[in-house]
A and B are shown apart, each in its own frame.
Chain A
Amino acid sequence: MRVVVDFDLCESNAVCMVVAPEVFEVRDDDFLYVLDETPDEALRPKVEEAVRRCPKQAIAIAED
């Protein structure tokens, strides 16, 4: 699983960070950082939840 963020859509609202802080972090500079682009399978439910909760529909999961 690879986490892909469309940074043209992302507005750094940090919704994903609340859901999956292991993978997403919005820092003081107001930018989103993907901390782990290929998170462990154990984190899949959380990442999927972040995909569903992102108001800008900016996150996708690539299987490669």
Chain B
Amino acid sequence: MRSVCVVGASLAGSRAAQTLRSEGFDGTITMVGEEPHRPYDRPPLSKQVLAGDWQPERTALSAGLDDGLDLDWRLGVRATGLDLTARRVSLADGTAVAYDGLVIATGATPRRLAGTEDMAGVHVLRTVDDCLALRADLDRAPLRVVVVGAGFIGAEVAATCRRRGIEVTLVEALSVPLGRVLGTEIGSLCGELHRDHGVDLRLGTGVEGMDGADRVERVRLADGSAVDADAVVVGVGVTPATGWLEGSGLVLDDGVVCDETCLAAPGVVAAGDVARWTHAHVGEAMRVEHWDNAVQQGAHAARRLLAGEGPGAGQPYCPVPWFWSDQYDRKIQLAGRAGLDAEVAVVMGSLSERRFVALYGRDGQVIGALAMNWPAQAVRWRVRIADGVAWDDALTEARAGDRP
């Protein structure tokens, strides 16, 4: 293998490139990225950058460690097609990149609400440019903001707006925010966090439409009510960015479908938000949209590419997924999985203090651990989940280790 093309110059892609180099690959690495920017960190976009505390330059990744990797940057240009047989990626500027190995790391694109795609004042938040456009709108006081969707991005945007003293209405179609991810009890608690901070939380209702002359002025809800808005942020989830791969012969099904090792086709791997792979321990196909997965899977995919048909080729990618979300003065971290049908036990702290660790179990095993304002515990339990700790043992272990 003499040349690798990485499509998607962000977290998973840059991690793949760095791993190729640290594993000794000295061929050409071409980094194709649609955004004009070098890789940067997205989590601060809904937090410090949106708050105005940080300038975007502070979102550089890995403290400059990757500056000397000798990469061929093709930034500000979109990949538009893939020829698997000729091993060639075509780009929007009419050129093409030939490769021996391909890393697909194009991430995901935010969903928009039909009919509001081009309306001024209606935002999504994925890129630094999205963030700065939204921030510019937030700088125009006085202001009422409507956030559509109380998932993690929506919740963080609502929290950041409140910190800036902005009036927020948060609209969520589900009756419990994050209910499907965190379960009913803890999801409800997340809803209370918003109400405690003065957010007008509207649950169980969708958005019917938006009105306005030059820009958005009002959001109409499915329950018949209407909310005045100077700006709207739509946080209703993302779609994996696979449009450029249509017709390439790769299997696309809510992401690029890979085997247990992150291989999508001979010489082609995928990583990060765009990749759907079969988790060998869980026995299910999954796609994970979190920071740590992009970092770990980017590295795994690079090693898989280098292994070819040789030793290490069969190494499955079996992480315990893990993410965090910072909202108001609370840090929420989930290791593993929760889910509505899981058993839940609060093993440290208490829900009323809003500082606790809850374990989720199924079939006698711990499948997830949620920590609120207890970051060290999330990682501790992540390690135990990877060990396959049994539910009963975990409860004993946790209660023995409880601290005031």
User: Which residues of A are at the interface with B, using a C-beta cutoff of 8 A?
Assistant: 11-15, 17-18, 26, 28, 30, 45, 48, 51-53, 55, 57, 59-61
Contacts and interface: CB of A to CB of B under 8 A. Distances in A.
Interface string B281-295: 000000000011001
A53 B295 contact: yes
A14 to B, nearest CB: 4
B65 A48 contact: yes
A57 B376 CA distance: 16
A27 to B, nearest CB: 9
Given A13-B378, A52-B15, A61-B63, 9 more contacts: A11-B375, A14-B375, A15-B379, A18-B383, A48-B65, A52-B65, A55-B291, A57-B61, A57-B62
A11 B379 contact: no
B206 interface: no
A13 B375 contact: yes
Nearest to A59: B63
Given A55-B43, A55-B324, A13 B376 contact: yes
29 contacts: A11-B331, A11-B375, A12-B375, A12-B376, A13-B324, A13-B375, A13-B378, A13-B379, A14-B376, A14-B379, A15-B379, A17-B379, A18-B379, A26-B376, A30-B376, A45-B22, A51-B62, A51-B65, A52-B15, A52-B61, A52-B62, A52-B295, A53-B292, A55-B291, A55-B292, A55-B324, A57-B41, A57-B62, A61-B63
Contacts of B22: 45
Contacts of B61: 52, 57
A51 B63 contact: yes
B21 to A, nearest CB: 12
A23 B376 CA distance: 16
B49 to A, nearest CB: 13
Nearest to A58: B63
Interface of B: 15, 18, 22, 41, 43, 61-63, 65, 291-292, 295, 324, 331, 333, 374-376, 378-380, 383, 403
Contacts of A13: 324, 333, 375-376, 378-379
Contacts of B375: 11-14, 30
Contacts of B383: 18
A28 B292 CA distance: 24
Contacts of A18: 379, 383
Nearest to A48: B65
Nearest to A13: B375
A53 B22 CA distance: 15
B18 A52 contact: yes
A12 B378 CA distance: 11
A31 to B, nearest CB: 9
Contacts of A17: 379
B292 to A, nearest CB: 6
B327 to A, nearest CB: 13
B246 to A, nearest CB: 33
Contacts of A12: 375-376
